[in-house]
Every structure is written in C-alpha cells, then in structure tokens.
Amino acid sequence: MNFEPKIVAFLCNWCSYAGADLAGVSRFKYPPNVVPIKVMCSGRVDAEFIIDAFRKGADGVLIGGCHPGDCHYVEGNYKARRRVEMMKRLLEEMGINPKRLRIEWISATEGKKFASVVEEFVEEIRRLGPVKK
Amino acid sequence: MKIAMYWGASCGGCDVSLLSLHEKILDLLKEVEIVFWPCAMDFKYEDVEKMEDGSIDICFYNGAIRTEENEKIAKLLRKKSKKMIAYGSCAIEGCVIGLANLYKREEILKEVYSKDVPSEELPEFLPYLKTLEDVVKVDASIPGCPPPSSILEDALNSLLQGKSFGKNVALCDECPRKDSKPDKIEINRIYRWHEKKDSGECFLAQGIICMGPATRAGCKAECITANMPCTGCVGALPKVKESGISMISAIASIIGNKNEEEVINSIKDYVGTFYKYSTAKLLPEGRLKDES
C-alpha cells in the first residue's frame, strides 16, 4: 500500500489560517494530507502539542505564523520560532528526524505560498516515510 | 502495620533516604513492622513467597525495572501488598538510569563488558528500562531523588492515616530566591552553573537553567538553598504531563531576540537537561531510529 503522510498543521488565526482559506477560495490545488488546526497565535503552540502530535501518529508537524514583525500579539511568532528550534534539537536526540517539524511564515494574502509549502512538505515527508521505530 | 521495602535498579540512595527522617524514624518504627527490606536486613525471596497475599500493608518499591528479576519481584510484591508505593524518581519515571533508553541494549552491554556477557544464572537484561507503573498497578508515589525528608515525612504521615499528599504549586513558590526574580526575564546567554559566579539572584534571571518553574514543590528547595539550580527530581505538577516539555516551552519564551540561535545551540544536551529524571517516560521503548 502506498504511504500517505499525515500532517498536522497549526495555523494562526490572523495570518496563516486566512492564507489557507484564501488558497481554498482561490481554488489552488494542494495535497489533502494536512489537518489544519486553528490557534489564535503560533505562539500558542506549546511544545507539548508538537510531541503529542508525533506520539499520536503524525508524520509531520507544520506551524504557520505571521511574518516576523507582523504578529498580531507583537512577538508570539518569535516565541514559536524559538520553540520549534528547541524542539528540533529534542526530536533529533529522541531519534526523530527534525525535518518532520517545520515552521513557515504565511500571510493572509499568501494563499499560493500556503499551497506550495504544503505540497513541498508532503513530498518531503513522503520521501522520509513513516516515523521509524 | 507491616511494611516492605525493595530495591529494583537503583543506586541504594532511596533505602538510605529513610534515615534522613533522623530521630523521627524511631516513632515510625513503633508503628510498623518491617517484613522485607533486603538492603538493611537478611531476607530471602522465599520468605516473601510464603507470605499470604495482601499481607503486607505498604510496600515501598524503589528503583526502576531493568532486569527480569526486578520485574518478577515487583509482580510478586504487588500480589503480597495492599498498597504499592513507587518510592523515588527511578520507580516513578526512570530517573538518571532511564537515560540508558537513549542507547540500545547491545550498545550498553558492549560498553560495560567489552567482551562476552557472562550468562551464568544472571537475570536477563531487558531491552529498555521500564518504570514501576509500566509493570504493576501503583497506588501512590513518593517523588524525589532520593525523596527529601520534608516530602517523605509528609508522605509517610499521610499514608499511615490513609490520606493523600503532595503540594499543588511549583517549586518557585517555596524558593528562597523568589523575591529576586524580575518581572520579565530575558536570557541572552545560557551558562552552566559552574561557568558563572553566582550573584544570589533567581537562577533563570542569571541565565542558568533551573527546572523550578516546571517542578512540583515540597522539597523546600534543598538544592537552591545549597546554591545549586533545581534539576527537577520531584517531577511535574499533578496536572502537567511532563515537566521537560513544559520547561522547553517556558525557556523558549524567555530567550531574547538578539542572539537566539547561539543561545539555543549552547544547550548541548536537551534530553539530559530537560528529561534528566524522566527519559523512561519520554522514550518508553528506547530511542527511535528515524535518522537520515
């Protein structure tokens, strides 16, 4: 059977979720492997959410936030960026490929970017296969 | 009241920690009868097997489950005891020896024995380290590495009266350096504790990682009183799943924007820093093999 990646995407309410919405409204095509979860800010994504997603069977986790300087809450996206960097190092030590965790800045106007990021990420995870135990 | 104490894979510190009750241990001994304690007195496993099921009132199990023997005795004691207590960090979440879960069994045996592993009559070394609750039902746990006298006293008194115990606040609440914590902490460089002259302020404000905010109170901040940052042996607060992951989130929030990459890179050992006492919970089936 072909491997279909499962990807959890935490998208911020103000930019990335609106970006994903725009991708849909504009009818851009992207793979259906992403499960979007709306959060108020990428800074709301606790490190626990990331590890929980992997434990419950996600093959990749995508976090979408506003561009640096554009955060609705001033510095939530910087916190998310640092959290992701720290989590990548923890995942590596745990034996999980850190490429499975990705953070992207997607604004409300960048529907195209959302579609292309998802496409790229799904392809990459497809290449990596499921998390090897 | 009959009590038993057993050591699984442990250093022996938990057995000794009972003595940190000092003269109060005499009051305890008036109330209890020790029926099994291999570290302190001569008992044989047959003695336990001959006991009636449920005849031990409280069994304190310290140490993790690393060999077949540990697992067998844990199951035997569970059968013979009314209450099974995970005593100390090893039994609860794997503790420092749980860090062995970062390596495969074969790697560990090769490192220790270099040649052939002696096979005569030795209990089997399990593929990975387990905690007590992975093997048997646990009724309560007394945390700490080893349990500090303040937690122990509270726990023993409560257990003898059949009450629950433990505080529901973080260690910062009872920290002697609490007042020196600034309203907003910003870390622009992380120091290991020996790299910086201690100013006597909150360790996090000095850039030294202290697990206090993610660790349950109760030990009266013994380490910090001795000018050492908390490493988190008491474990997470009751409503938090893992203290390590909450501490990573917290540290990420207080790193300054200036040289964040450098700061993040300067933490060399994430599992060892944040999961020093709970690697067995983080990696219950050993390290994953998802490289490349």
Question: What's the pLDDT at B112?
Answer: 87
A10-14, B15-19, B74-78, B246-250: least confident range:
B15-19
Identify whether B162 is part of a domain: no
Q: What is the mean pLDDT of residues B149-171?
A: 91
- For residue A17, the distance in angstroms to the closest alpha carbon of chain B comes to 23
Write down the pLDDT at residue B292.
60
With 0-12 / 13-18 / 19 or more C-beta atoms within 10 angstroms meaning exposed / middle / buried, residue A91 is buried
Asked if residue A24 has pLDDT above 70, the reply is yes
Q: What is the mean pLDDT of residues B43-63?
A: 93
Picking from B252, B285, B289, the nearest residue to A79 by CB comes out as B252
What pLDDT, on a 0 to 100 scale, did the predictor assign at position A104? 97
CA atoms of A62 and A39, how far apart (whole Å) = 13
| Residue pLDDT, tens place only, A27-36 | 999 999 999 9
CA distances from B221 to B150, B212, B234 (A): 10, 9, 11
Average pLDDT in chain A: 95
Give chain B's domain count: 2
Shortest Cα distance, chain A CAs vs residue B195, angstroms: 22
Any domain includes B286: no
Confidence of residue B160 (pLDDT cuts 50, 70, 90): confident
Mean pLDDT across A11-18: 97
Q: Is the pLDDT confidence value at B22 over 90?
A: no
Q: How far apart are CA B90 and CA B14, in angstroms?
A: 9
- Are both B124 and B225 inside the same structural domain? no
Paired residues of B61 in beta bridges: B6, B86
User: Which tens digits make up the pLDDT trace of A55-73?
Assistant: 999 999 999 999 999 999 9
Q: Report if residue B80 sits inside a domain.
A: yes
Whether B20 has a pLDDT exceeding 90, the answer reads no
Give start and end residues of each alpha helix (H) in B12-98.
Answer: 13-17, 24-31, 45-50, 68-80, 89-93
CA-to-CA distance for A34 and A117, rounded, in angstroms? 11
Buried (b) or exposed (e) across B114-153, using 16+ Cβ within 10 A? Answer: eeeeeeeeeeeebebbbbbbbbbebebbbbbbbbbbbbbb
Residues in chain A closer than 8 A to B267 (CB atoms): 86, 89
B15 and B136 housed in the same domain: yes
- Asked if residue A97 has pLDDT above 90, the reply is yes
- Comparing CB atoms, the residue among A43, A82, A89 nearest residue B255 is A82
Domain that holds residue B181: 171-276
| Structural domain contains residue B152 | no
Residue B140 shares a structural domain with residue B180: no
The two tokens of residue B52 are 């009636």
Q: Are residues B110 and B237 in the same domain?
A: no
Assigned domain for B23 exists = yes
Instruction: Tell which A residues from 4 to 23 touch B, by Cβ distance under 8 Å.
Output: none
pTM exceeding the 0.90 threshold for the entire prediction: yes
Phi-psi region of B44 (alpha: psi -120 to 50; beta: other; left: phi over 0): beta
B241–A48 CB contact, under 8 Å = yes
Whether residues B269 and B205 share a domain: the answer is yes
B287/A85 CB distance under 8 A: no
SS3 B256: coil
